[in-house]
Chains A and B, each alone.
Chain A
């Protein structure tokens, strides 16, 4: 075995490290450590000249192990591994000491910081001597992508993947794709009709040969990893055979059961066999078994008798479909907070207090009133209040800003003014008109004579005359006001969907503090998640307007395509292995493995690790009573050596 010659490189990271850690002193110290052939410090080790230092030392000075003391390995470990590989050294002959996040950024005293940096460097030098060369492996990448959620972000992602000639499955929980955007009337700031710009895309989804569309279906299980996700999708019993159904609508028109329409926010009724809205894709109904008389009381059968195609099938059962995918895009969207959680807003108590999504339906020409703004009693309101930040920017509900409400508040104000005349009041904390053309739209709405009252609508009450009134502290006037109106529209917070926790668990996604799905990096990896091959797009990551959701959908498609078109996927060699001599076959590790990568070999009476599935988390290693399990690159010897050297400083 050739002599071990370690090269140690201490990074200044500009002033990030050098301001606190005396790098020259650490460098001098490193030079004294056994096995160290070269020790240097440099301004930016990650920059090209820094990398070049390492290359030259490997080539000219026989360095065969490398330690870089700089930042977290999360960012630049792959960078430096590549440097080693570029000059023929195995990338795993490398160790990183984190003296930025773990030292300079969190230590007040420069003396203590320098001492800790030395200890970490000594640990890394001790450890790197024991490193083994490891080879990265590749497996075949499945070329099909799964998109979960058929709102605008999911639709865009599916269409982009299909356009590239790759195949994609789009799974939607509801009977139709379209999501929340399908419910909107106009879109800010250009006032295009939402349905007019969305439905062509929905139709393209249905027509694309590369898209397999599963509506009324949910992802229930995901196994495997990037390149080879085995996904189980539950197709809920629709009770209508989509292959036979022609979408003629006779069943719906003859159905006798009426249920408040989810799509119309309960402002209109739908039937128990229904298509959610006229432009639905697929434009074929589903039976809501919770309300259908055939299922509730066991007799009716009207739709089945009348269906000319014989498509109604009461005996359909939920069906599980299992398929393998290379990548997954999650675009499950958001939900609007139920404002009845705050009784002060009067939602559910006063009949003319509506959510913004309900009001969208009211002003929509295909909505329950044919686009006329009407109160419950059928009269046209003379004054409308739009309350911003209902449950947003409010520590009692959601601390965060819901981001698009300011703009749809302005849009709804414009539409209300246009449709009914009268007075329209916006109650706001701040107006955040951040996008292209948004500030101009605000000015336009101002010019139209909409009133803006700076103050959070605190309460919606009935005043002495029985009229609705919004109580508000007008912070520009500096006084309390009670503004009488006929209708109040609540811009209720956008919040994570009620099933976000379950979806996150099934797909292995983490959630941020606000409950939305967590991206891998808030700036540089907004579409990736902590799980390789699983991407997020649209409002499931946080509230977004339509342009942002579309951009993310397309971006996630590019992310997925960059994986699946590569044809193969790299698997980390840092995985667990069993020492067959030592394994007693006790099976303690089998149920503990979060990836079900360990199986028991009945013949040899030992446990084995499936290398394709193992992620190298180390859970099994910690549990093994006979010390038979170890994870490569994290062996006991390596870790103990590191601890010893750190402790010796």
Chain B
């Protein structure tokens, strides 16, 4: 299985641990990632609120480049995105292109100015979808050498991965990550706020509101006895992890909740070296998790 890999800005900077762990587990799963040549920012949440057309064009350029990626002669190129925001932006641009004739015209015009075209045959998938649906949980199970036995994990999907239409799972109460973590041997705690927003970029402009949202998430995870929150998005990871001390200051709480990428937990279950997975990079220490696993 070969995919056109779109890392996005986060995975090359603040979330390099996400990329490291992704790069570490994919070969085990038989997933080949061919990084899209000359990719650019997807537009994230900042651009669409200012200029929807520009944001669609930014994302569409990546799709056009992806279509030119060599995926061993497979019929249609599938883009693999690990960041939920990138995934949502690329999907949205593709939907615009396919379903909105006016937007299709604008995107086509803009791409043509740069000497590129988009056929619209490309598909976009989140890494979680690829692992759960394309690789399959049976195959994942076969790779587990060190089950996450006894580790209580709160599966946190964030708001973007199942929006806007719940492409690969239920938009309100998705289960893909729950099932994956269970296969890894973890004890999955029922996490009701699994798709509630972490505040995203609001943390930089309206911190108080964003902290409220994160406190809600941390409260549920810790009151359900979770040892760690598993995330699928760099933005969620940053808000829950790096701003956890701000939450504690604002609300007089004492959370010390590790927030890890699901790829890191997969790598640990596969018995990969934690340094290869960039485990320990989090602001809140991962030591308790490793200790519980006996690493």
Contacts and interface: CB of A to CB of B under 8 A. Distances in A.
A342 B170 CA distance: 9
B219 A343 contact: no
Contact of A462 (B170, B172, B173, B192): B192
A344 interface: yes
Contacts of B170: 343
A570 interface: no
A458 to B, nearest CB: 10
Interface string A446-464: 0000000000000101101
Interface string B60-81: 0000000000000000000000
B52 interface: no
Given A343-B172, A343-B173, A349 B190 contact: yes
B173 A344 contact: yes
B273 to A, nearest CB: 38
B206 to A, nearest CB: 17
Interface in A453-490: 459, 461-462, 464, 466
A342 B172 contact: yes
Contacts of B193: 461
Contacts of B216: 464
Q: Indicate the member of B172, B190, B219 with the most A CB atoms within 10 Å.
A: B172
B13 to A, nearest CB: 34
A344 B172 contact: yes
Interface residues of B, number: 10
Nearest to A350: B192
A343 B170 CA distance: 8
Interface in A340-364: 342-344, 349
A431 to B, nearest CB: 27
A462 B172 CA distance: 15
A464 B190 contact: no
A431 B174 CA distance: 33
| Chief secondary structure at chain A's binding surface | mixed
Nearest to A459: B172
Interface string B170-188: 1011000000000000000
Contacts of B223: 464, 466
Interface in B185-224: 190, 192-193, 216, 219-220, 223
B219 A464 contact: yes
Contacts of B173: 343-344, 349
A466 B190 CA distance: 13
Contacts of A466: 223
A467 to B, nearest CB: 12
Nearest to A464: B219
Contacts of B172: 342-344, 459
Contacts of A342: 172
Nearest to A340: B173
A290 B219 CA distance: 45
Interface centre among B172, B192, B220, B223 (most CB of A within 10 A): B192
Interface in B159-179: 170, 172-173
Interface in A320-344: 342-344
Contacts of B190: 349
Nearest to A341: B170
A372 to B, nearest CB: 29
A343 B173 CA distance: 6
Given A343-B173, A344-B172, A461 B192 contact: yes
B255 to A, nearest CB: 14
A287 B168 CA distance: 42
A464 B220 CA distance: 7
A462 B192 CA distance: 8
A355 B220 CA distance: 26
Nearest to A342: B172
A459 B193 CA distance: 11
Interface string A238-260: 00000000000000000000000
A343 B175 CA distance: 11
A269 to B, nearest CB: 26
A461 B193 CA distance: 9
Interface in B216-235: 216, 219-220, 223
Nearest to A462: B192
A300 B192 CA distance: 44
A344 B220 CA distance: 17
Contacts of A459: 172
A343 B190 CA distance: 13
Contacts of A344: 172-173
A464 B221 CA distance: 11
A464 B193 CA distance: 11
A66 to B, nearest CB: 53
B157 to A, nearest CB: 13
Contacts of B219: 464
Contacts of A343: 170, 172-173
Contacts of B220: 464
Nearest to A465: B223
A459 B192 CA distance: 11
A319 B48 CA distance: 66
A296 B56 CA distance: 60
A267 B170 CA distance: 27
Contacts of A464: 216, 219-220, 223
A63 B104 CA distance: 65
B163 to A, nearest CB: 14
A459 B190 CA distance: 16
Interface in B12-71: none
A464 B192 CA distance: 11
Contacts of A461: 192-193
Interface in A206-245: none
A330 to B, nearest CB: 36
A459 to B, nearest CB: 8
A456 to B, nearest CB: 14
A344 B173 CA distance: 7
Nearest to B173: A343
A349 B192 CA distance: 9
Interface string A392-426: 00000000000000000000000000000000000
A462 B224 CA distance: 12
A342 B193 CA distance: 15
A464 B223 CA distance: 9
A464 B173 CA distance: 18
A382 to B, nearest CB: 21
A461 B173 CA distance: 12
A469 to B, nearest CB: 11
Nearest to A346: B192
Nearest to A461: B192
Contacts of A349: 173, 190, 192
A180 B172 CA distance: 31
A464 B251 CA distance: 14
Interface in A607-640: none
B173 to A, nearest CB: 3
Interface string A579-617: 000000000000000000000000000000000000000
A496 B173 CA distance: 26
A462 B193 CA distance: 9
A462 B219 CA distance: 12
A550 to B, nearest CB: 39
Interface in A21-38: none
B81 to A, nearest CB: 25
A394 to B, nearest CB: 13
Given A342-B172, A343-B173, 6 more contacts: A344-B172, A349-B173, A462-B192, A464-B216, A464-B219, A464-B223
A-B complex: 5 closest residue pairs judged by Cβ atoms: A343-B173, A343-B172, A344-B172, A461-B192, A464-B219
18 contacts: A342-B172, A343-B170, A343-B172, A343-B173, A344-B172, A344-B173, A349-B173, A349-B190, A349-B192, A459-B172, A461-B192, A461-B193, A462-B192, A464-B216, A464-B219, A464-B220, A464-B223, A466-B223
Interface of B: 170, 172-173, 190, 192-193, 216, 219-220, 223
